[in-house]
Amino acid sequence: MIRQLTLNESDNMSADTKQNTITIDGQEIPFLAGQTIMDAALAAGVYIPHLCHRQGLTPHGSCKLCVVDIASKNASACTMPAVAGQQISNNTPALNEARTTITQMLFIEGNHICPSCEKCGDCTLQAMAYHLGMLDGHFPQFFQRREVDASHPTVMLDRDRCILCELCVRASREVDGKNVFEIAGRGTNARLIVNSASGKLVDSELETSDLAAHICPVGAILIKESGYKVPIGQRTFDLHKVSEIGLEKIVLTKVRQPDE
C-alpha cells in the first residue's frame, strides 16, 4: 500500500461557484480562488502537458512543460494563479514546439535507455515524447557520469534517468513526512542526493510504502524485484494517453483497468 496524496477540496469543482472564469484556447473554464491555471484546467478536463506537477503536492514550476501564453506573457500553468478574464493559449503549434524542445533537452541531458528501461511504457517522459510527436533527441547527448545507488534492499536509484523534477523530494516531505531526497549542485551538475549520513539510500528512512519510492515519473527510482511483472505492450501508456485526465493513480500503482 503506497502512501496516498490527499487532494484539497478545491480540486472538486462545484457548480455553484462558477462566477470566475479563465479562457484556455477559446474554452471558458471556471476556477475557485486560490487555484492555479493548472488546477482549473485539470478540473475542467483540459490537459496541459506537465512532468514536475502532481496535484496535492506543492507546485514546482521547474520542468517548464506546462508553459502557456497569457496574452503576450508566458507563465508556468502549475504555479500561476488563475485570475478572472485570463486569455490563455495552451495547445498551440508554437507552444508544443517549445515543449518538444524542452522534452528533447531532458532526454539528452540524462542517459535514457528506453528500450531496456524497466519503466518503459510506464514512463511519463517517454509518454510525453510520444504525445508531442518527438522523433529523436535532436541535440548531442551530454553523456554525463552519474552515480547509481543500489544499496537499498527494495528501492534503487539510477541518477542517469533523473530529470530533476523533485516529485520524490516533495512527496517525501509533504506526504511521507520524511526528508529523504534533496537536489545538490548547480546547473547541469545538479543531482539528486539522499539525506543520510553515508549519502546512501540504505541508510535513509525510505521505505517501500513511501510515496517517494513510487512517484518518480521516469526510471530513476525503481522498486526492486518487481521488474517486468507487467509485460511491455500492457503497460500504462500502452493502454492510456498521457493526456487523459486523472491518470496519476494508474501511473503510480500500475493498476490495470478491469478491461485490460
Partner 1 sequence: MTGLLRSVISRAYAESPNVLHVLYALQRQFLHISDEAVREVASHLELPTSQVDAVIEFYSFFHRIPRGRYDILFSNCTSCGYMAGGVNLMAVLGRQLEIVAGHTRGDGLVSMDQTSCIGMCDHGAALLVNGIPIVSLDVAMITRIAALVEAAMPLEDWPAEWFHVEDNIRVNGLLLKDDLPEDISLRAIFAHGAAGTLSEIIHSGLRGRGGAGFSTGMKWQLCREAQGDAHYIVCNADEGEPGTFKDRVLLHSYADRLFEGMTVCAFAIGAKQGYLYLRGEYRYLLPHLQTVLSRRRELGLLGGDILGQPGFSFDIDIVVGAGAYICGEESALIESLEGKRGIPRVRPPFPVTHGYLGQPTVVNNVETFIAAVHILRRGSAWFKAVGTEKSAGSKILSVSGDCAAPGIYEYPFGVTIRQVLDDCGAKNAQAVQVSGPSGTLINSAEFDRKLGFDDLSTGGSLMIFNQARDLLAVIVNFAHFFAHESCGFCTPCRVGTVLLKNGLDKIAGGHGTRYDLDEMQRIAALVKYRSHCGLGQTAANPILDGLQRFPQAFEQRLVHRDYEPHFDLDAALEEARQVSHRDDTAAHIE
Helix axes 93-109, 124-132, angle to 10 degrees: 140
Check binding of 217 to partner 1 (CB under 8 A): no
By CB under 8 A, is residue 70 in contact with partner 1?
no
Asked if 43 contacts 11 with a C-beta cutoff of 8 angstroms, the reply is yes
Instruction: Kindly state whether residue 92 participates in binding partner 1, applying the rule CB under 8 A.
Output: no
Residues from 117 through 146 that contact partner 1 (CB under 8 A): 139-140, 142
Please choose, from the candidates 235, 236, 243, 175, the residue with its C-alpha nearest in 3D space to the C-alpha of residue 211. Answer: 175
Locate 17 and state its grid cell.
461557484
Answer for the pair 50, 66: CB distance below 8 angstroms, yes or no.
yes
- The amino acid that residue 248 corresponds to is E
User: In this complex, which beta carbon is closest to partner 1, that of residue 83 or of residue 245?
Assistant: 83
98 is a contact residue toward partner 1 (CB under 8 A): yes
Q: Which of 25, 182, 238, 248 touches partner 1 (CB under 8 A)?
A: 182
Is the torsion defined by CA of 76, 82, 83, 88 positive or negative? positive
Among 21, 27, 55, 62, binds partner 1 (CB under 8 A): 62
Size of site (CB under 8 A) for partner 1: 40
Applying CB under 8 A, the residues found at the interface with partner 1 are 59-64, 67, 74, 76, 79, 81, 98, 101-102, 105-106, 108-109, 139-140, 142, 163-164, 179, 181-190, 193-197, 199
